[in-house]
Amino acid sequence: MMTEAKQEVNNEKKPEEKVVDDPRLQAISSAIRVVPNFPKPGIMFQDITTLLLQPKAFKDTIDLFVERYKDKNISVVAGIEARGFIFGPPIALEIGAKFVPLRKPRKLPGEVISEEYVLEYGTDCLEMHVGAVEPGETALVVDDLIATGGTLCAAIKLLERVGAQVLECACVIELPELKGRERLNGKSLYILVESH
């Protein structure tokens, strides 16, 4: 079940701050399809491809992020492969920032830096081009969903290793029961909808 939850959460033990409901959130929430038992039994997959089929809901999603970040002096929007590549570039263009793809291993040509992270079974890795982000830049990390938080943590570490300041992580969907926000080491998390 999806619920509207446009919110900002900071893990520094501040109370959860809920922003006033926006009428666009219901359409966004309704446009996301939940697919049971995909990609394996027991998983309730949050499918944003149905959101992309509805231009108004898709635009509203981008607009909500742009409204939040347009005056924050963000110079880097880092999108996590693969669905962060859908939401990150239009946000970056609208706020006047560059888009930096964070990819799975062996997808980026040239010199990269890597950050491993733990999955439920095993590990994975994110890579970023050397020189894509300069020390002192302010970054926003974008993905479609936060579950356990491992991928977002790896993204934050990559950016901080090159001297960037990560302002916040932004996701369309949060699965709060998986407690991913607790792993973000004090970084703020901004989401549009929760799925329970």
CA atoms within 13 A on the CB side of 189: 35
- pLDDT the model gives residue 2: 60
The residue from 12, 106, 111, 120 that is catalytic is 120
Opening angle at CA 153, ends 150 and 159, nearest 5: 145
- pLDDT the model gives residue 122: 78
- What is the domain-level CATH number for residue 37? 3.40.50.2020
- pLDDT the model gives residue 1: 60
Q: What is the pLDDT along the chain (196 residues), one digit of tens a residue?
A: 665 554 454 444 343 343 458 999 999 999 999 999 999 999 899 999 999 999 999 999 999 999 999 999 999 999 999 999 999 999 999 999 999 999 999 999 999 999 999 876 779 999 999 999 999 999 999 999 999 999 999 999 999 999 999 999 999 999 999 999 999 989 999 999 999 7
170 three-class SS: strand
**Number of domains the chain contains:** 1
Q: Of 55, 6, 51, nearest to 30 (Cα)?
A: 51
CA–CA distance, 116 with 159 (Å, rounded to integer): 13
Is residue 24 part of the annotated active site? The answer reads no
- Residue 95 neighbours by CB under 8 Å, 6+ apart: 66, 69, 70, 72, 74, 77
Contact 190, 168 (CB under 8 A): yes
- pLDDT the model gives residue 118: 86
- pLDDT the model gives residue 119: 78
* pLDDT 10s digits, 41-94: 998 999 999 999 999 999 999 999 999 999 999 999 999 999 999 999 999 999
Radius of gyration for the alpha carbons in the chain, expressed in angstroms and rounded: 16
| DSSP category for residue 181 | G
Task: Using CA atoms of 88, 89, 90, 94 in order, give the dihedral in degrees to the nearest 10.
Answer: 100
Is residue 120 part of the annotated active site? The answer reads yes
- pLDDT the model gives residue 15: 35
**The two three-digit tokens of residue 126, written as one number:** 């994110």
The residue from 24, 83, 103, 181 that is catalytic is 83
> Which domain covers residue 138, as residue numbers?
2-195
